[in-house]
Amino acid sequence: MNEAYFSAAFVQSADALPRCPESIKEVAFAGRSNAGKSSAINTITRQKKLARTSKTPGRTQLLNYFAVGNDKRFIVDLPGYGFAEVSKAKKKAWQAAMQQYLTRREPLVGVVLVMDIRRPLTDSDWQMIEIQQQGDAGLHVLLTKGDKLARGPRIQTVHKVQETLAEAGVEATIQDFSSLKAQGVSDAHAILDAWLFGSKLDL
């Protein structure tokens, strides 16, 4: 397990691509509002308050950069999508900023798409996948809240999502995850290591 993530620190927020920091490599975390994205980032970094969590959908409104190490490698927390208690104008602005970021940001090497394992592949998730597929970054699906399902249904859901993505021609790695029980952290680290540090991926 790479301890570099445990010292991750907030660097800055950006509301548009030109205001993103200089970067060597970065991995973005995307997900529907309240899918558990911020909690997943906090669990992966072993920091309770690194990424802001809230029961109010749409709390994350900017591209939030967290440095991993001191050589300009970053985890980026993207604005949540789908239902959010914000104006249509703000939502439209977020979507435009995300599309520009995911398709034009050169240092972006991977996207971790966070979904609630009980409600995977919503229409909003597919819209995000369509945008991600337009860029060059890899895709990893993190099915959160795995503690809400028994082992059998959890495994079945992982396989079903994998099959559905494959049928759609989407290449992705996939795993279940639980922030509450800190399950799946090693697998998430392996993905981040491969993308950010060039480590061999062996899941």
Q: What is the mean pLDDT of residues 120-139?
A: 94
Q: Which residues contact 123 (CB under 8 A, 6 or more apart)?
A: none
Residue 58 has pLDDT above 70, yes or no: no
Q: What is the pLDDT of residues 86-97, one digit of tens each?
A: 677 777 776 777
Predicted pLDDT of residue 52: 76
Predicted pLDDT of residue 202: 60
Per the prediction, the chain carries an average pLDDT of 90
Predicted pLDDT of residue 56: 47
**Structure-block tokens of residue 48:** 């309770």
Residue 119 has pLDDT above 90, yes or no: yes
Predicted pLDDT of residue 23: 97
Per the DSSP assignment, residues forming a β-bridge with 122 are none
Helix ranges, 15-150 (H)? 37-45, 88-104, 123-133
Where in the chain are the domains?
3-197
The CATH label, of 3.40.50.300, 2.40.50.1020, 2.130.10.10, 3.30.70.1710, for the domain at 3-197 is 3.40.50.300
Q: Which residues contact 197 (CB under 8 A, 6 or more apart)?
A: 2, 4, 73
Predicted pLDDT of residue 189: 96
